[in-house]
Amino acid sequence: MAATIILLLSLLIVKIGDAEQQVLLKLKNPRLMNCRFDKIYQFGDSISDTGNCIRESLCEAQFWCKRPPYGMDFYKHVTGRCSNGMLIIDFIAMECDLPLLNPYKDENAEFRHGVNFAVAGSTAISAEFLAENNIDNIGATNSSLSVQLDWMSSHFHTTCSPNCPEKLNNSLFLVGEIGGNEFNFGFLQGKTIEESRKIVPEVVQTIIHAVKRTIDFGATRIIVPGNFPIGCIPFFLTKFMTNNSTAYDEHHCLKDLNNFVIFYNRYLQQAIDELKNDYPNITLIYGDYYNAFMWLLENAVSLACCGIGGEYNYNVHISCGDPMVPVCVDPNTHISWDGIHFTQNAYSWLARWLIDDMLPKLNCQV
């Protein structure tokens, strides 16, 4: 089965390797077109940032996604996306038969079909809360979820107020994926699993508060994604490599890290279910990024494509984008792009799995 999936991935990219052809191919049968979304609003971090970080001075200065080979399969130039090409949000937009979302920080951009507020390195909780819990904000941005919500508020006050509920009635909101970096930062700074569990309620409540703010403006269909299984990511596999074979599961992922993510995701799901009781007329959907990734992991190569050295082709001291770091021959057969983020092809398949999972819950016309 693995060989079959890899072949399919390759054929997909061969067909749509040129970005313009990609849009045309996707528009032939957009699976979310019956949902009749006319706008999409995205909050998040580097999983969905399409160009905000590179427009923040501090973030841009430390941003490795700003240089080649990032963007090599997206019009052959860097856009601020942390991949060789497109992201999940790009594929969702095309499946809605909408243009790709422009980043909020692009002052010359057009926002008739939505806005991308996501910033690479961002957290759900504030830098102040991180500091109170002795976690340094190493993400090179202070544009946490609350800041992104303030951007949303400013945008809506100038574009749809006072009729936002009417104008946003056919919009899709994605609140996340966000709420992973604070845990990543903590683990890298020596925080234990138990210490990280203690801040899960605060992270989740911050995300739920964000969902409520979007509802207050008029959002009626909202996706709230969980986190990926970080124990399967080359960066963490390299950083926390051990000779203890019992630390790994059958997929050679680190069990403790994945079990933590499962704990977090369940907490988030429970909070979403409770919120549904308060808003019975709002469509709230949990985005199951964890199981989407595990499905893909069983069917493709997980080594980093753009990397060097080590068991996972990843080196914590030298990143993708450095002249000394090579790129694999065929990114289409890899899940991981740079040891942390995924390839365009992986994002394409993740988006496909997620749409298949969420479509019946979106209350779209058939």
Q: Which sequence positions are flagged as catalytic?
A: 46, 338, 341
Which H helix or E strand runs over 151?
Answer: helix 145-159
User: Does residue 331 contact residue 84 with C-beta atoms inside 8 Å?
Assistant: yes
Inter-residue contact 342 to 335 (CB < 8 Å) = yes
Which stretches of 129-202 are assigned E, i.e. beta strand?
171-175
Backbone angles phi, psi at 115, to 5 degrees: -145, 145
Peptide bond connecting 177 to the previous residue in cis, omega within 30 degrees of 0: yes
Cis peptide before 201 (omega within 30 of 0): no
DSSP letter string, 288-353: -HHHHHHHHHTTSB-S-SB--STTTT-BTTB-BTBTT--B-S-GGGBSBSSSSSB-HHHHHHHHHH
Look up tokens 């008739």; give the residue.
Answer: 112
Backbone angles phi, psi at 245, to 5 degrees: -65, -25
